[in-house]
Structure 1
Amino acid sequence: MTTVVGGVYVERCVEPHWDDVYGSAGRAAAAISAAVADVRLVTYRAEPLAEAFDSLVNAYGLVIQGPLVRFEVAFDYFHPLATPRITPRPDAIPWNEPIRIEDEVVLRFGMLEGDAIVSAATAVYDPQSAFDPRPFGENGSTAGRLAMILNQLEARRFADEPDARKAAEAILAKGDAAVVVLKMGSQGALVLTSEGVDHVPAYRSGNVFKIGSGDVFSAAFTQFWAVEGRSPREAADLASRAVSRYVDTRSLPIPSADDLMAEDLVPLEAATGRVYLAAPFFNLAERWVVEEVRNQLVDMGVPVFSPLHEIGEGPGEIVAPQDLAGLDECQVVLAILNGSDAGTVFEVGYAVAKGIPVVALAQNMRPEDLKMPQGTGCTIVSDLATAIYQAVWALK
């Protein structure tokens, strides 16, 4: 049997709309349920979520076990890239006795309500904690073979090393894990073993629903490496392909390895350049969107020219030439077309005339208002996270 142990939580997102119960463990167990027989999901079972647990059983054929707890945990997002509001606050969630798991293959996630002590022939560990990731064996967990899947911040925290790759190398050198997978967002992932370091790419998708993408990666890696016996590099590449499919469609379970390899996926390549943020900023809501988009781009390490921040407000004869000069120095325009602001529409037309790619966020707009952007080759998307990623991916 294969066991997935971790949290099952309520997830809600404003845009695009999402309201379901998955969490890391629920989503991971669902992800591998088509190819892996007798998947066991072990978690702290919140009594208010009894119907949701029944739905997971009925939809995916899971065996669900674990102690009952009286409260549920919810994650609320404005959009898939936003920091969620967690209810109750993490410091107010009661800590429960650890869950003990013994199985041939175990995928272990970090949890908010307690911990899991694992004894496995093969284990995959995703700590799911940016602030205080704990070593796999600290709580007494053991595994004949161990793979650790970490994002860059987790790796830095684990090794107390500012360079994420050096941190991953230090973690591997300790000898606790046979495989360390370092996830690097749009830059793909590094797979570190005693035989060396391999890079696997991230793959492009039409839509980008990021909630749970890391869960799917860890689940897919577990299926392809721990269960099917593929090499760490091949398993990580298939996991990256599975993530591309998931963020585009939100569908589970993941496809088989053959189906994933048959899909014509485009790997993302390293790019340079600056994004021009074309958007109105004349009221509080508009300013919030500009600040949020700019912050997300900066957090990704992408240079961004925001007229609000670089030039500021002022009379048109002063700010317009400076804005267009800034646009000339950018390689992609990310335009917020909501409201059909005249200045933003002008900037889009200017970019099209100069041959600069345009990605436009357009929500609740009349089809007539989109005829020119669509007819001139602009990429039109309807959710914020997808718009941000499509703009970054359009950089050369």
Structure 2
Amino acid sequence: MHIMGGLYRELCDIPSWDCTMGSGVRAAMATADLSPGSELHTYASSADDAAIRALLSRGVTVKTTARPSSIVFAYFHPLSSPHVEPPREAIGHLPTLRVTAEAVLRFGFLEGDATVTADRAVYDPQTWRNPKPFSANGSTASELALVLNELELREATGIDNLDQAARHLINETGAQVVVVKKGACGASVYEAAGNVSHVPAYRSSKIFKIGTGDIFSAVFAVYWAERKMPATQAADLASRSVSLYCETRTFKFDPLSLSQRLPVAAVAGARICIEGGTESIGQRYTLEEARFALRELGMEVMCPETEQEADGWNADATLVIDDGLSQHALIRIRKAQAQGRPIVVLHERLSTTVSLTKDIEVTDDFASAIYLAAWAAGESVAANRS
């Protein structure tokens, strides 16, 4: 597998993360065992030597074009928007990378571009900011698959309806496949022949979201572009691999481990009640950040502590931020539990506690709490429909 992708330093405050990865390095690490002899084409500075040595030790061939300094993505938590240093507008444009091969995975870059000539190519633009069409820089492929998230698809087409947008993109680009990643709700696979299929997300006990899109595209590219597996089957293996990576942050995607992943039934529009403290800035910030993250996943959200119209609002699941809960919140939580509503608790500090002893999921990680709540709400919706 030939990979064209970025090599960037990634920082995260909570949980702590400091690693030089980026789309290219992470994809190359993911394909090292699946596609021995993989080759990465990227830009790098002298500060990136350790990451290159790690790739070489895994048997990956690395071809670099010099870059004057590192590029850093800094996150507060894995679901937050990153701060980029140097600023995007200050990053110069370097010479275009070029590769000709049978199977190629191409990502978008901040500091340059990549021109591809391939039998089969997978293109992940990696940005919603005016994503460029695959062929805009002269890239060609006998067969093309596009991998985008929902926002990237809407920005690329100007069409809000995802089904219409995917069909439009197939018609405009001549792609054989468009894969639309939907976060907690899995992914949809659109094929030029007219087939549409859904691939679920798979459960993981921890959710570390930085780079999961890189993993998805890399594994999909190996199975679809290189091994010529049907697109839906390749996307399913990619989704299973994302689940395993979220839980372990390692690059071991053996068939047995993938076969044991369990699908989850997140549903866009599922309703989630958030219970949390509001007396301090920190408590209110966490509550609002959770509200924003869940809405980004397509959930409907209500917080009784801050919204007057909460009475009569029936939730499918409750997310409890266990810090400074009011007595009214505790009463509502116990009532929800008595009614059999799924409850997920974000319990970050030992000094706080919710006295619930059964039928709840507890995590000390913010991003994990968000996804577990979305999955719980979706499974509740599915159970009520059956």
TM-score by length of 2: 0.92
Q: Match of 2:366, as an amino acid?
A: L
Distance 1:337 1:147, change over 3 A: same
Shift in Å, 1:102: 1.6
Partner of 2:320: 335
Q: Aligned equivalents of 1:260 and 1:379: distance in 2? A: 23
Is it true that 1:372 corresponds to 2:355 in the alignment? yes
Partner of 2:131: 133
Do the aligned residues in 2 keep the contact of 1:179 with 1:193 (CA within 8 Å)? yes
Q: Match of 1:174, as an amino acid?
A: E
Q: Aligned equivalents of 2:266 and 2:314: distance in 1? A: 21
Do the aligned residues in 2 keep the contact of 1:280 with 1:343 (CA within 8 Å)? no
* Deviation larger for 140-149 or 21-30: 140-149
Partner of 1:360: 345
Counterparts of residues 45-60 of structure 1 (less than 5 Å): 45-58=44-57, 60=58
Shift in Å, 1:204: 2.0
SS of 1:220's equivalent in the other structure is: helix
Q: Aligned equivalents of 1:264 and 1:11: distance in 2? A: 27
Shift in Å, 1:389: 1.1
SS of 2:132's equivalent in the other structure is: coil
Counterparts of residues 145-294 of structure 1 (less than 5 Å): 145-174=143-172, 176-195=174-193, 196-253=195-252, 255-256=253-254, 258-270=255-267, 273-294=270-291
Do the aligned residues in 2 keep the contact of 1:41 with 1:62 (CA within 8 Å)? yes
SS of 1:131's equivalent in the other structure is: coil
| Paired-residue identity, % | 37
The structure whose Rg is larger is 1
Task: Give CA-to-partner distance per residue, 1:4-27, whole Å, 9 cap, x none.
Answer: 111111111111221111101110
Q: Match of 1:372, as an amino acid?
A: S
TM-score by length of 1: 0.90
Q: Aligned equivalents of 2:290 and 2:222: distance in 1? A: 35
Do the aligned residues in 2 keep the contact of 1:13 with 1:78 (CA within 8 Å)? yes
Q: Match of 2:367, as an amino acid?
A: A
Task: Give CA-to-partner distance per residue, 1:103-130, whole Å, 9 cap, x none.
Answer: 2211000000000111112111001111
Partner of 2:383: none
Q: Which runs of 5+ in 2 are unaligned?
A: 381-386
Do the aligned residues in 2 keep the contact of 1:204 with 1:268 (CA within 8 Å)? no
Partner of 1:78: 76
Is it true that 1:295 corresponds to 2:295 in the alignment? no
Shift in Å, 1:365: 0.9
Q: Match of 1:349, as an amino acid?
A: R
Q: Aligned equivalents of 1:50 and 1:19: distance in 2? A: 15
* Deviation larger for 165-174 or 300-309: 300-309
Q: Aligned equivalents of 2:14 and 2:258: distance in 1? A: 31
Q: Match of 2:307, as an amino acid?
A: E
- Please tell me the root mean square deviation across aligned C-alpha atoms, in Å: 2.0
Counterparts of residues 29-48 of structure 1 (less than 5 Å): 29-48=28-47
* Deviation larger for 126-135 or 297-306: 297-306
Shift in Å, 1:57: 2.2
Shift in Å, 1:64: 1.0
SS of 2:247's equivalent in the other structure is: helix
